[in-house]
Chain A
Amino acid sequence: MDVSQYLEVFIDETNEHLQNLNTSILDLEQNPDDMDTVNEIFRAAHSLKGMAGTMGYKRMQDLTHAMENVFSKVRDGEIKVNSAMIDTIFQCLDAIQEYLDNIQGGGDEGTNDNAAIIKSLNGFLTGEGAGAAEAADEKPAETDKPAAEAGSSSSDGRNKWKDIKLTEEQIDVIEAARKDNKNVIGLTVYVQEACILKSARAFLVFKALEELGEIIVSVPSTQDIEDERFEYEFSVILITDSDVEAVIKAAKGVSEIEDAVGGIVEETAAEAKPAEASEPADAEHAEEHKEVPTAVAAHEGAGNKPATEKKKPVVNRTVRVDIEKLDDLMNLVSELITAKNSLVSAATADNESANDVGEHIEYLENVTTSLHESVMKVRMVPIESVVNKFPRMIRDLQKKLGKKMELYMSGEETELDRTVVDEIGDPLMHLLRNSADHGIESDVKLRKERGKPEEGSIFLDAYQDGNNVVIEVRDDGNGIDVEAVKAKALERGTITEEQANQMSDKEIINLLFLPSFSTAKQVSDISGRGVGLDVVKSKIESLSGEVDVKSTLGVGSTWTIRLPLTLAIIQSLMVVVGDEKYAIPLGNIQTIESIRPDDVKAVQQKEVINLRGNIIPIIRLNEILDCQSAKAEDEDLVVVIVKKGDKQAGLVIDELTGQQEIVIKSLGKYIQRSKVISGATILGNGEVALIIDPNALI
């Protein structure tokens, strides 16, 4: 059955189920007895299994089947949820995610059987939860510990093949080969760093090796190598009749290969049997056994060139759309057709109805404008899809770092353009990791001394603020040690002593955003590699946003990401100044007042008005915007009162034309944007109106 047409749906839905599972299992950890959650998990696992089966992803199906079994028993009350089980389930979800990533990358689920996870899942079924839990804590591939240990004890760093983790099947194959008196050779090949076509070179090496024998494992996988997803080295395990020297020579024979190191893979299992003299029949069998995979590999090799084109991600990016938005669209399209029809009839009718044409066109214009806006709205998705994975991440970090912390999120429903939502995941993840790793104090005593609860809190808040969406990552941890940053900057030569003395705390904190600047005393794999904050900054800036940090030592830090809603639609007040039209975002406006000219008083050379006891400075927009007011001096002033925080100001305009929903567009890179103008919008008649940013005026 050709299921490729369902692939997109499959990937989308699997992602959704995985997300659901992650969330539900986190819930379950909090309330192990909540049957609703268990049921939901069971359903999701069941659907996953069914979908994987339909699509023919056998490994994924087996894994989800094992998971489903566990929850089936939990549901029936036969076994209890415990923390070991939760850990295993999370590993299982990660493994499914890995399958999914593989499928998304190349259309194949990959070759990892995750036998260890399945085994420990099955362990829970038989009630030996505690025993299985230990196994589950280890990484799946480490079941063949002997091999790994033997590898690490003699590993000299370059012989990376010794670190290759083997699955049970692969071990079986190796055992069989040994019996046949074949050599099992591990090999690590280093490609020259100047090499451009790494994957092509790797392919040649593979080809050369396949002439000598059968490659049973490669790290990274052949798929990754083909896609150039590897550094400058890769390792393989080869079953061959040749000796180590011949193999190394074959690998080095390929140009642009810097080096190749290898050796015999010794014991793979504790009870490796001594090689026996093989019987003729066996040898024949082995011959066949060897022949087939080689042929397959060669076939793959031959078909490699055209295949690479297909290796591009097979999936289009999709947006899931709220049915209401689609209904809106559909409705508008039907109106569009009506409008077209009335135009057609007007054109074919007598001249009498010619007057109507103008009306019809106006109607048509209205419809198309609304249509345009609706389509824009379809592109907006809630940031939920990105932030939902964070609770799980924090949970994992909590275990890894041994700190207690909790993530509180709000504003997940805030909508952003799909392209922006896709991009902010990484920067946010980085900031959260940063907070978890560096922010929250490792020392519980220290937290107590500072009067903070034992459990650290990390907050992720998203909200819309005028033309921006603001995402804040906040923690109640240690805060940034300005002195430490300063010392580090001096040490690195980023700034001079003189500069350091002149810099404000804020300026010093901003040094953190410079490339390769990490104050972490110890490099950890969570954060603190010196890449990061600068990446966060550049990423946010590429989305034309800004990132800012406020921090108080001992109290905590707040990272604020401000993203403009480039495609956002906002409600705004349309005003006229001189003979030009401007839009003022409604969100900033408090009231609109009519003020008599003699009520304007001067205080310290600034014009102010007294509005119901509040003294509010007024700003004449025509002066700011550098144009002539069309009003006479003695006419009443139209003042739009805007607020920013607790500050207020009155903007003097000439005329109000009404309220309108507008689509914000950028003025582009060329115009050095004056601060007052935050963007532009296109009016019904096709002209452009500029959007005033009241925040910049106050």
Chain B
Amino acid sequence: MDEVKIYSEAVQYIKIEMGTELFGIDISYVDNIVRPQHVTRVPNVASYIKGVINIRGEIIPIMSLRLKMGLDEIEETKSTRFIIIKMEKFGKIGLIVDAVKEVVALEDSQIERVKVDTSEELAHFVSGVGKVDGVLVSLLDLDMVVMEKSAKEE
């Protein structure tokens, strides 16, 4: 595990914390990470969409990753962040996460593809599990995350 530092073909992930688990978001999707700000509620939308915010004149929808993943909503804390991701299909979308840790680089060999029989609901959104310094990081499949329906509602 010593040669972890130099990875030519590794993909970089931003490690985030949700509850007790760690998740990874492919850094190439990440546009910006901002501190929480006032979210304007939009009526009559799915419950996990908390509303919209303004980032430098752009209106960006914000979704609660917790609600989307079927976790309980928690109060905003000091470490809460909005990760703004940019999707080809939908443009920019903000995800509310509990905390942002560091950036990790993972090679293919370090990633284990998820098996379908995972009982947790979360499995829908996870494309693989990476191991960083002995800790498991679930890599988020952002396409699934931003899909219309949340696991619970279906």
Contacts and interface: CB of A to CB of B under 8 A. Distances in A.
A372 interface: yes
A688 interface: yes
A665 interface: yes
A111 to B, nearest CB: 44
Contacts of B45: 671-672, 674
Contact of A670 (B37, B40, B44, B90): B90
Contacts of A688: 40, 51-54, 59
Interface in B19-50: 37-38, 40-46, 49
B57 interface: yes
B146 A670 contact: yes
Contact of A676 (B44, B89, B91): B44
A680 B41 contact: no
B130 interface: no
B45 to A, nearest CB: 6
Given A580-B40, A670-B61, A671-B45, A680 B52 contact: yes
Contacts of A682: 54, 57, 59
A71 B46 CA distance: 68
A689 interface: yes
A415 to B, nearest CB: 20
B43 A667 contact: no
B91 A689 contact: no
A669 B43 contact: no
A680 B43 CA distance: 12
Nearest to A577: B43
A686 B42 CA distance: 16
Interface in B45-91: 45-46, 49, 51-54, 57-61, 87, 89-91
Interface stretch (A157-165, A473-481, A553-561, A624-632): A624-632
Given A666-B59, A687-B38, A688-B59, A671 B49 contact: yes
A372 B54 CA distance: 15
Interface string A625-648: 111000000000000000000000
A625 B43 contact: yes
B90 A686 contact: no
Contact of A668 (B41, B60, B148): B60
B42 A667 contact: yes
A150 interface: no
A669 B52 contact: no
A580 B41 contact: yes
Nearest to A621: B43
B93 interface: yes
Nearest to A671: B61
A670 B142 CA distance: 14
For the side of the interface on B, what is the size category? Answer: 20 to 34
A671 B87 CA distance: 13
B15 interface: no
B90 A680 contact: no
Given A668-B61, A668-B90, A669-B90, A674 B54 contact: no
Question: Could you tell me the dominant secondary structure of chain A's interface residues?
Answer: loop
B52 to A, nearest CB: 5
A677 interface: yes
B40 A668 contact: no
Contacts of A686: 37, 54
A667 B52 contact: yes
Which of B42, B43, B44, B89 has the most chain A CB within a 10 Å cutoff?
B43
Contacts of B148: 672
A668 B92 contact: yes
Interface residues of A, number: 24
Contacts of A627: 41, 43
A690 B42 CA distance: 8
Nearest to B55: A686
Contacts of A670: 61, 87, 90-91, 93, 146
Given A682-B54, A686-B54, A688-B52, A668 B44 contact: no
Interface in A337-373: 372
A690 B91 contact: no
Contacts of A580: 40-41
Nearest to B92: A668
B92 to A, nearest CB: 7
Contacts of B44: 626, 674, 676
Interface string A668-698: 1111101011001010001111100000000
A687 B42 contact: no
Interface in A595-626: 624-626
Interface string B139-154: 0000000101000000
Contacts of B52: 667-668, 671, 680, 688, 690
A206 to B, nearest CB: 40
B61 A667 contact: yes
A625 B42 CA distance: 8
Nearest to A666: B59
A550 B51 CA distance: 37
A680 B40 CA distance: 10
List 5 tightest A-B contacts by C-beta distance, closest first: A674-B44, A688-B40, A670-B90, A625-B43, A626-B43
21 contacts: A372-B57, A580-B40, A580-B41, A624-B43, A665-B57, A665-B59, A667-B52, A667-B61, A668-B52, A668-B91, A669-B89, A670-B61, A670-B90, A671-B49, A672-B46, A672-B148, A674-B44, A676-B43, A687-B38, A688-B53, A690-B42
Given A667-B59, A668-B90, 4 more contacts: A624-B43, A670-B90, A674-B44, A688-B52
